[in-house]
Amino acid sequence: MFGEYKAGRPPPPSGLGYQFVALRQLMDDLGFVSLAVPSAEADDVLASLAVQTAARLVDCGGAVWIVTGDKDMMQVVSDERNIALYHPSKPEWITETEVMDKFGVTPELVPHVQAITGDAVDNIVGVQGVGPKTASALIAKHGPVPELLAALAAPGVKHTKRSLAIVDAGDRITANLGLTTLTTDLPDLPDVFDSNAPRTKADLLQHPAFVAFCEDHGFASLLRASRAAAVQGTTTEPPAPAPMTKLETANTLAAYLESADGAISIVPYTAGSGQLIGFGLATVDGPPAFAQLADGAATVVARYLMARPSGAPPLVAFCATSLLTQLDQTSPDALARIAPTAFDDVSLMFYTVTHCASAKTKRRELADVALARLAVSIPREPRSADDAALHAATLAALHADLGDAIADPSRERLAHLYATVDKPALLPLVAMQTRGIQVDAAAVAALLASLQDRVDAAKDAVVAAAELPADAAAELSLESYQQVANLVYNVAGLPKLHANASSVSRPVLRRLSEETGSPLPQLICDYRAAAATVSLAQLAADSAIDATGLLHLQRASLVSCPDGHIDYDPAVLVGALDTLAADVVVGDYGVAPLASAEQAKLVADARSRGYVETTTGRRIECSMHSNGAELASLAARSVAADIGKAALASIWKTSALPALAIVSQASIPAAHIVVAANDNSAQLLDKTVRSGVAARLGVDLVP
């Protein structure tokens, strides 16, 4: 019916047909179920299979994960039905949140947006001049395509050029919708999970059909991997989980905790409401259990942690900050009495084993780590007491696995950092979040006023250097990339360093000042630094200080740079932190600058040069746009520890900028810790912070 559909794709390679036949035969020999439905595309089969399988798994709380990078499958994603995508090459999880971020609409409306914009890959022609943002906004406002077309065709509608184009292309959009919408109700699909196919990588490598296939096609590396797996032994299916034990009273919970042999894993259960209901519990060898909060479970757990002697097996959480926060709400003295040795944080352990994995990872939940380390699939969030117990049992297995990995002698230094810095830092961090720092609000206001005076003076200096008339000066916005470029290259007439390059980044402006002798570029840098300092303190004052004068450091960052084109001077920001710490903090927890101006200058100079030079003379290349975390990552991989000190500044250009650093009073004397904008304990202590703390404590980060 639609002859142009996918007509733009190039012809397949000549040998692809044989490969399809050979792979299908291999899948059959391995026992995998192959699906081919007449008159249906593979996407439709996959979508139908996902939706129908999710419906069958509702009662048992199972999850459906579609492993694909195809954006067309995003329309099938559903948090309610527990269907998510896993993009294997990035890797990242895609839930309704990520779909909304990409398309601006809920998953079921994605094909309606695509019907308007078209799809070049599938040769679906969209409405000319209407991009994804406009299409998403219209669909979000009016609803699906039929309702949108009806709304735009209504009498009296005032049309724009784009809306008129959509009305004129109504028939084509309707036809496109039939192409972009996946079928989810194909009948008579078999149960693809009822098979004897290998379930693990080791089983696959040792399967006779797979070995024969590799021998026939000369896959030498896979054959070597197969022989290695045979030496290690064939894996077996995990045993069925033991029945869950219900701990119905505080006494039975206390008895469970005291009698457990080894580390106990604990998973808070909130049923998605945010209100704590109970805990899932498990050990490596024993049956999982569940304890109701109504029976005093949180108080018992807090007392258990507070009483743990040094050397006793720890209580294991995936994200200890969440657990400690909940216990602090139940027992106000818990944080002061819990020793760092009393608990383990599996997310931090995973972070250590993977050598400080990228802080840009979007999702790192228990389900992700379990899949990566154990090849075990569990629901992303516990939706019942049984799920909470299952999560606890999985967490116990993960703790044992990561404990063995950390014990590897090659990770001795990172393991020391985990035990002496990462874990102890969690206790003061939670205290800062839940109780806050007592500050002098009047001092903050005075600081803001003085900083604003600096900004006004810096702008006046720019106006004077550019010799702008009063009316032009009043309209000048130095936060605008376009206005700054116009001021530098057109009004002031400074030369472009590269043909057709009108960059106004800090390195370019500094170089312009040096080569031309004009003070204007450096004055613009000074203004930006002053403006960044004001926004830093202003956001802290506006959003973090409550009516009683307590500054609450939440996981959300206190400031973000507003313009990705602008690179602020780290030295001035660090000076602002120093001023804020010295003038306004009056509480029990001391607040200290994250780095000295000298250290911040090292980071700034490294960006300008494009490399970091160590004390041993080694140069490590870095982009002039490298952020503090990237420089710290370079430090962690370098032989010389001095780069880590340079990265102490922890200044980000386009991502979150932590505003304050704290000094732990007891657990880590004189160590500088920062509250960053991340989703779990591992990322709370990001690479930059770990490098800085390690340098202060004399801990070598080099694995």
Domain assignment of residue 196, yes or no: no
Q: Among 240-244, 282-286, 450-454, 558-562, whose mean pLDDT is lowest?
A: 558-562
Question: Within this chain, do residues 443 and 586 fall inside the same structural domain, yes or no?
Answer: yes
Domain assignment of residue 46, yes or no: yes
Q: What whole-number distance in Å separates Cα of residue 662 and Cα of residue 428?
A: 9
**What tokens were used for 52?**
């129908």
Confidence of residue 682 (pLDDT cuts 50, 70, 90): very low
Cα dihedral 349, 354, 356, 357, rounded to 10, equals: -120
Query: Backbone phi, then psi, for 265, in 5-degree steps?
Result: -90, 140
CB atoms within 10 A of CB 112: 27
Q: What is the CATH number of the domain that holds 104?
A: 1.10.150.20
Q: What whole-number distance in Å separates Cα of residue 394 and Cα of residue 402?
A: 12
Residue 116 pLDDT greater than 50, yes or no: yes
Using CB atoms within 10 A of its CB, is residue 481 exposed (0-12), middle (13-18) or buried (19+)?
Answer: middle
Which is nearest to 701 in space by CA: 351, 404, 346, 344?
A: 351
Question: Within this chain, do residues 551 and 614 fall inside the same structural domain, yes or no?
Answer: yes
Cβ(342)–Cβ(314) below 8 Å: yes
DSSP secondary structure string for all residues of 218-271 = T-HHHHHHHHHHHHH----PPPPPPPPEEE-SHHHHHHHHHH--S-EEEEEE-T
Which alpha helices (DSSP H) does 470-596 contain, by range?
A: 470-475, 481-485, 506-516, 520-544, 570-584
The domain in which residue 510 lies consists of 437-697
Q: What is the CATH number of the domain that holds 647?
A: 1.20.1060.10
Cβ(173)–Cβ(115) below 8 Å: yes
Q: What whole-number distance in Å separates Cα of residue 135 and Cα of residue 149?
A: 12
DSSP secondary structure string for all residues of 308-347 = PPTTSPPEEESSHHHHHHHHHHH-TTHHHH--GGGEEEHH
Question: Within this chain, do residues 227 and 260 fall inside the same structural domain, yes or no?
Answer: no
Q: What whole-number distance in Å separates Cα of residue 42 and Cα of residue 48?
A: 10
Strands 661-663 and 672-674: antiparallel
Cβ(235)–Cβ(203) below 8 Å: yes
Mean residue pLDDT of the chain comes to: 69
Domain assignment of residue 644, yes or no: yes
Q: What is the CATH number of the domain that holds 287?
A: 3.30.420.10
DSSP secondary structure string for all residues of 274-289 = SS--EEEEE-SSSPPE
Domain assignment of residue 261, yes or no: yes
Q: What whole-number distance in Å separates Cα of residue 128 and Cα of residue 118?
A: 9
**Amino acid letter at 112?**
H
Domain assignment of residue 450, yes or no: yes
Average pLDDT rounded to a whole number, residues 309-319: 84
CA angle (380, 385, 389) in 5-degree steps:
70
For 528-570, write each residue's pLDDT tens digit: 877 766 665 555 455 455 555 554 443 322 222 222 222 333 3
- Looking at the chain, the whole-number percentage of residues with pLDDT higher than 70 is 62
Cis bond leading into 379, ω under 30°?
Answer: no
**Which position has the token pair 């916005």?**
477
DSSP secondary structure string for all residues of 109-147 = GHHHHHHHHEETTTTEE--TT--HHHHHHHHHHH-SHHH
Question: Within this chain, do residues 388 and 482 fall inside the same structural domain, yes or no?
Answer: no
DSSP secondary structure string for all residues of 396-463 = HHHHHHHHHHHTSGGGHHHHHHIIIIIHHHHHHHHHHHHH-EEB-HHHHHHHHHHHHHHHHHHHHHHH
Average pLDDT rounded to a whole number, residues 641-670: 25
Cβ(204)–Cβ(198) below 8 Å: yes
Domain assignment of residue 32, yes or no: yes
Cα dihedral 399, 403, 405, 407, rounded to 10, equals: 180
Query: In a 3-state reduction of DSSP, which class is residue 15?
Result: coil
Confidence of residue 603 (pLDDT cuts 50, 70, 90): very low
Q: How many residues would you count in the chain?
A: 703
DSSP secondary structure string for all residues of 581-594 = HHHHB-SSS-EE-S
Question: Within this chain, do residues 344 and 441 fall inside the same structural domain, yes or no?
Answer: no
Burial annotation 213-234 (CB, 10 A radius, 16+ → b, else e): bbeeeeeeebeebbeebeeeee
For 453-496, write each residue's pLDDT tens digit: 888 999 999 999 999 998 888 888 887 878 888 899 888 888 88
Q: What whole-number distance in Å separates Cα of residue 179 and Cα of residue 183?
A: 10
**Amino acid letter at 31?**
G
How many domains are there within the chain? 4
Question: Within this chain, do residues 205 and 172 fall inside the same structural domain, yes or no?
Answer: no
Residue finishing a domain among 390, 407, 424: 407
CA angle (55, 59, 64) in 5-degree steps:
45
Q: Give the per-residue pLDDT at 699.
A: 40
Residue 431 pLDDT greater than 60, yes or no: yes
Q: Give the per-residue pLDDT at 500.
A: 54
Radius of gyration for the alpha carbons in the chain, expressed in angstroms and rounded: 29
**What tokens were used for 22?**
């050979």
Cβ(655)–Cβ(627) below 8 Å: yes
Q: Give the per-residue pLDDT at 541.
A: 52
Residue finishing a domain among 407, 427, 453: 407
Using CB atoms within 10 A of its CB, is residue 7 exposed (0-12), middle (13-18) or buried (19+)?
Answer: exposed
Q: Among 225-229, 296-300, 347-351, 637-641, whose mean pLDDT is lowest?
A: 637-641
**Amino acid letter at 656?**
A
Task: Measure Cα distances from 653 to 55, 85, 498, 517, 658 in Å.
Answer: 45, 30, 23, 27, 11
Question: Within this chain, do residues 152 and 227 fall inside the same structural domain, yes or no?
Answer: no
Cβ(356)–Cβ(435) below 8 Å: no
Question: Within this chain, do residues 304 and 344 fall inside the same structural domain, yes or no?
Answer: yes
For 28-58, write each residue's pLDDT tens digit: 888 888 887 887 888 999 999 999 888 888 7
Which is nearest to 437 in space by CA: 557, 660, 538, 588?
A: 588
Cα dihedral 521, 524, 530, 532, rounded to 10, equals: -110
Question: Within this chain, do residues 392 and 518 fall inside the same structural domain, yes or no?
Answer: no
DSSP secondary structure string for all residues of 557-571 = -SEE-S-TT----HH
Q: What whole-number distance in Å separates Cα of residue 504 and Cα of residue 130?
A: 31
Q: Give the per-residue pLDDT at 649.
A: 26
Question: Within this chain, do residues 514 and 541 fall inside the same structural domain, yes or no?
Answer: yes
Domain assignment of residue 428, yes or no: no
Question: Within this chain, do residues 527 and 669 fall inside the same structural domain, yes or no?
Answer: yes
Cβ(127)–Cβ(116) below 8 Å: yes
Residue 351 pLDDT greater than 60, yes or no: yes
Query: In a 3-state reduction of DSSP, which class is residue 551?
Result: strand
For 55-108, write each residue's pLDDT tens digit: 888 777 678 889 888 889 999 999 888 899 988 777 678 889 889 988 889 999
Domain assignment of residue 192, yes or no: no
Higher-pLDDT residue of 681 and 365 is: 365
Q: Give the per-residue pLDDT at 594.
A: 30
Higher-pLDDT residue of 558 and 159 is: 159
Helix (H) or strand (E) holding 171: helix 170-180
Q: What whole-number distance in Å separates Cα of residue 568 and Cα of residue 652?
A: 9
CB atoms within 10 A of CB 616: 9
Question: Within this chain, do residues 108 and 131 fall inside the same structural domain, yes or no?
Answer: yes
